[in-house]
A and B are shown apart, each in its own frame.
Chain A
Amino acid sequence: MGSVWTQLEPHLADVEKPARYIGLELGAQRPEHGPGRVSWLLTYPDTYEIGLPNQGLQILYEILNERDDAVAERAYAPWGDLEAVMRRERIPMFSVDTHRAAGDFDVLAFNLSAELTYTNLLNCIDLAGVPVRAAERRPEHPLIAAGGHCTYNPEPLADFLDFVVVGDGEEVVSEITAVLADWKASGRTEGSRRGMLRELTRVEGVYVPSMYEIDYDGPAIRAIRPRYPDVPERVEKRTIADLAAWPYPRNQLVPLTEVVHDRLNVEVFRGCTRGCRFCQAGMITRPVRERPAEQVRTMVSEGLRRTGYDEVALTSLSTADFSGIESVVQGIVDDPSTCGQVSVSLPSLRVDAFTVGIAAQIQKARRTGLTFAPEAGTWRMRQIINKLIREEDLYGAVTSAFSQGWRRVKLYFLTGLPSETDEDTLGIYELARNCVEIGRTYTKGVSVKASVGGFVPKPFTPFQWFGQNTVEELYRKIGLLRDVARHSKGLQLTWHDPRATLAEGLASRGDRRLGPVIEQVWRRGGTFQEWSEHFRLELWLEAMADHGLDLDWYVYRHRTDAEVLPWDHISAGLHKDFLWQDWQDALAEVGLPDCRWTPCYDCGACTGYGIEHVVASAVAPAGGSQGTGQDLSTGHLPGTSVPVELRSLRQPVGAPS
């Protein structure tokens, strides 16, 4: 049906922030569609402001458009006001690049970064004019695909997705395109869809939910079996071995209207082996693959020149760990061509690697906010989650910040962690208050914002067996903190809604039986569940009850060693017995060192795929305790290893004990 622009245009003056729907960004492409080209609509199932900066989609957008046999455009979930217009005027979901109707694409590929966007995914499929259930789709319908961190447990969406990509997308999108190009060339005949999907199961990293059968035993899963002998029993994630081979995005999109993370973003490394046990991203993206510092410099200087941005973020899961971070930052802020106007932001700073040196560098231009994530309030708790930073590390980091002129610091914490006591919870307040005290010695206007989120156990982490805290328990813990923090000057406490934490937990570790629940929540209007003003827990609770499903089973109970987990047929490379052992170590309050700088303990992420860490420095950056819980602030010479001594060194997995 081509472009919907002429239908859409008369209504845009009546909706909020219409610039979200016009495209025209710097870096936007106007690809030529054709019968020989597989067309992808890369879709973020939340608003443009949240979705546009997504680097994963931007990388795939470029890689696909560079190919002769593919084209890619972008789409984002329309806000409620436009959705009402679209439904009333029968305007389908569309791309922002050429306003092409979504139904005209071969693939609608969704990025899934957050569980609470699942109902939006269904809404987008429906707005595209495609049946939401995969089983009801006909040859003329686009394929519905998903990738991103949530797809490590794709089961709650199994009914709706034709195929799923697990892991890094850079290489696999081209392999998928090749399979789809053949199918397209063959005329997408009646009945051919199933054969093509079966063909896709041969592509490593691609999971086709309809090719698997689940046997249940009451509420439990007895077995997950492929329906055909040629379908793999287990789908292995994809990992690109070398980030240097993928300097993407080369042409980062620069939006015309305000979005989150509205700045140049350069990924400095992928993967993290700090081993924080609550952190799914750190577990599933192993090993660490650093981008060469020279390439980072080039991407930053060319990116700034091309985009006109005056801020660059060096992104990763823990940017202060990047080898030579100080000199890279210094090079950016001292670059004469930017006239000292470029500010550098370092998201995801570990407190044990944030030094006065880094603080001094990044405050030269405009100061961006500083955020640290101690995650837990007591040393005992931080041992359990394996975030082995000492109180002194945090105080050292905030001292560095305040001494360099910052006045506002944000601290991230989790509550509802395994074996957390009230003393641990209240430790959050102690830490935050002490940070305020430190700040006060430097400035009167100190502000420390402590943000507390309820912990959601995630698949492929050692905590995947842990029973999540109830809504009531999380409210109680937040209440404890609120009571003590109420009269604390300079300290602001904010918290995440425990009811949303419950819904997230449900989708995070759910199985296929959750499909009808998600569908019902969507059908009853439960979209934009990430947005507190739209979140409706009662829809989730009703849907669970209507389908005879038990919250306790899905969210609150501890899992056992022997249990078949809904994602057991997906692999992030991590050995399940490694994760189980790490879970037992957590309960025993035993830490595990960072394998980047210490011998391999065979978690499986490298060995299973024949890849290894790509790091420029064999030693941890100087300063702080570097995850050892020891004072390493005196630094150490290059070539020497970090003197890690943990309380008990574990046996390598598989070794006789």
Chain B
Amino acid sequence: MNSHIRVRFSKLGKIRFTSHRDVARIWERALRRAELPIAYTEGYSPRPKLSFGLALSTAYESHGEYLDVALRDALGDVELHELPRRLAPALPEGIEVQAVVALPAGATSLQQAVTSCTWHIEVGAALPSAVAHAMAGALAAPELVVTRQRKGRSVTDDVRPAILSAEVLDGTTIEAELATQPRGLRPAEFLAAVDPTWRAARVTRVNQWTQVGGARREVIDLPPAATPPPHAEVRAS
């Protein structure tokens, strides 16, 4: 009888240059190194049963990535609060396990559960005053129609509803909460919608949000001590 756990981890510093696929392989090896009883798929080429949430683009950092792991046995033998410590030596510098919870049977998948993400987006080579001005203009606009690529096709639509909130923090860093469904908006698309000449210098996913009883909540809350200080990026590099 398989059981499932959900892991929240960070991806900060040099390791941000690994791809989503790379991170998946890093996790497969880390779980084996930590000697967790992971479940495998059946068939010709068995793979560990892992499922990741929304992919993080290569070069983006994150304070909250998620991974669901299927274990071979019931949870009984696995001490959940021990897991961050047990996994730490098996993971590379920059990937840190922040919390692990047991997942009830039939839990919503990460892809479905997450409805929005909060991002810190640093605009490269732009003046702070220009960033503030353009942001204010974009938020005041009734609609922001952009054309972007979706599954190989050009789609033109209004992305304004997907911008749930946005403010300039300091200098040229914008904090934005962007929807992931029904139609999501990516940080690069968000920037392009505000000002097509902008280029993201550094992008960090700060939170991934889900809806519980009409209220916004993090997929897994951080234990109090591990909460990142607001607006102060932890940089491993």
Contacts and interface: CB of A to CB of B under 8 A. Distances in A.
B237 A5 contact: yes
B17 A18 contact: yes
Interface in B1-36: 14-15, 17-19, 21-22, 25-26, 28-33, 35
Given A257-B22, A366-B46, A24 B90 contact: no
B93 interface: yes
A34 interface: no
Q: How large is the interface on A (under 10, 10 to 19, 20 to 34, 35 or more residues)?
A: 20 to 34
Contact of B14 (A22, A258, A305): A22
Contact of A22 (B17, B30, B31, B35): B17
- Which of A13, A254, A309, A310 neighbours the largest number of chain B CB atoms within 10 Å of its CB? A13
Contacts of B30: 308
A24 B19 contact: no
Given A10-B201, A12-B59, A24-B94, A19 B18 contact: yes
Contacts of A25: 92
Given A22-B14, A254-B29, A367-B44, A308 B90 contact: yes
A307 B29 contact: yes
A419 to B, nearest CB: 44
A211 to B, nearest CB: 43
B22 A24 contact: no
A21 interface: yes
Contact of A257 (B19, B40, B201): B19
A24 to B, nearest CB: 5
Nearest to B57: A13
Contacts of B21: 258
A482 interface: no
B154 interface: no
A9 interface: yes
B211 interface: no
Interface residues of B, number: 28
A626 B88 CA distance: 50
B129 interface: no
Contacts of B18: 19, 22, 256-257
A310 B94 contact: no
B17 A21 contact: yes
A365 B43 CA distance: 10
Given A19-B17, A22-B15, A24-B14, A308 B33 contact: yes
Nearest to A310: B32
A258 B59 CA distance: 16
A440 B227 CA distance: 61
A47 interface: no
B108 interface: no
Contacts of A309: 29, 32
Interface string A3-23: 001000110110001110111
Given A19-B17, A24-B15, A341-B40, A308 B28 contact: yes
A258 B29 CA distance: 13
B45 interface: yes
Contacts of B94: 24
Q: Across chains A and B, which 4 residue pairs bring their CB atoms closest together, nearest first?
A: A308-B29, A13-B59, A308-B33, A18-B17
Interface of A: 5, 9-10, 12-13, 17-19, 21-26, 254, 256-258, 305-310, 341, 365-367
8 contacts: A13-B59, A19-B18, A22-B14, A22-B15, A257-B22, A308-B29, A308-B31, A341-B40
